[in-house]
Amino acid sequence: MSPHRSTPPLPSWLTWWQRPFPDANTLLLPGRQPALIDTGFVGHADETAAWARAHAGNIDLVVNTHWHSDHVGGNALLQARGAAIAAGTPEAEAITRQDPGCCAAEYLDQPVAPYTVDVPLDDGQVLRLGDTDWQVVGTPGHTPGHLALWQPEERLLVVGDSLSDYDVGWVNLALDGPDASATALASLKRMADLGPRVVLPSHGPIPADPAVSFAAALRRTQRLVDDPAGAVWYGARRIFAFALMIRDGIPADEVEPYLHARAWLTDAARLLNVTPDVLAAELATTMLRSGALALRDGRLHAAAEHTPVAPGALRVPYPRFWPTAEPRPVP
């Protein structure tokens, strides 16, 4: 962080944990009903649970901004220790049905340990988190069930992956349709209209100036609307970089076979009107050239800062193989 940069002050009744990839940032609300917003990557679930316990004791409720692997990785462990899980209704219903597409885990080749959703969340719903009330704000775009959380007294806004200080969430035009970028743009405009004092993003630092960050995010997302091919490329780069992060890189001679086996790459190639072979080669080449990837000791690595993941942590079943869920009471 620049020495000249200052961030808006946070209330004393919350604890913010900025985490490098592959974990999403985590927000803890201690109090009479201790709650955790997003739980990081499955490979760091023990770390997430230990941190939460050290700061708040037992967690009553986990709220997921959306179901991608870097946001729900600690759900299973915390649920086993008594926490209820809350998520946007579209994603909650899919997980209850145990749809194969849950969490896009198999599609993206990102591991997610099995969990259930106890509390479906709808737009406008009010949640007691810790000792304060938060309003659920539906913000689809990055995923159909993506949500934000708004604390009106302090004007705090948890934005998930909708925006960060340097980026916006990628959109999946193949799975969510050609209007996904426009949907994300409408969600950003709705959040900006709230006039938050503090924006709490899932990645990167807290923005110093929410209005400036929203203006930049709106411009970036408008480009995704105006350039669908660019939106596809943007998503492909993000997905591939994440795959490299959680695997400590991939041997260079295995990169293209790995990519050829991915459904997301096949879909991206179709939308770009190229063959998967062409897209796989071009993706690796352009990301190396830009510095987004690095070749070290015969392995291709993501260049962005990230925390290592133990290989054994990736060995969890895809949702289609999750055990049958048992009903459980909400604490």
Note whether 107 and 203 are same-domain residues: yes
Which pLDDT does position 6 carry in this prediction? 83
Which pLDDT does position 7 carry in this prediction? 84
Note whether 208 and 268 are same-domain residues: no
Distance CA 109, CA 20 (A): 20
Note whether 189 and 79 are same-domain residues: yes
Which pLDDT does position 15 carry in this prediction? 98
CATH number at residue 23: 3.60.15.10
The range of the structural domain enclosing residue 54 comes to: 15-226
Note whether 197 and 284 are same-domain residues: no
Query: Could you tell me how far CA 184 lies from the centroid of its own chain?
Result: 14
- Whether 255 maps to a domain, the answer reads yes
Which pLDDT does position 327 carry in this prediction? 55
- Whether 328 maps to a domain, the answer reads no
Which pLDDT does position 2 carry in this prediction? 41
Instruction: State pTM to two decimals.
Output: 0.96
- Record the tokens describing residue 119, joined without a space: 């509390």
Residue type, 179: D
Domain count, the chain: 2
Note whether 30 and 81 are same-domain residues: yes
Note whether 87 and 139 are same-domain residues: yes
Which pLDDT does position 63 carry in this prediction? 99
Distance CA 204, CA 99 (A): 31
Chunked mean pLDDT (size 10), the chain, 331 residues: 69 98 98 97 98 97 98 98 98 96 98 98 98 98 98 98 97 98 98 98 97 98 98 98 98 97 98 98 98 97 97 94 74 56
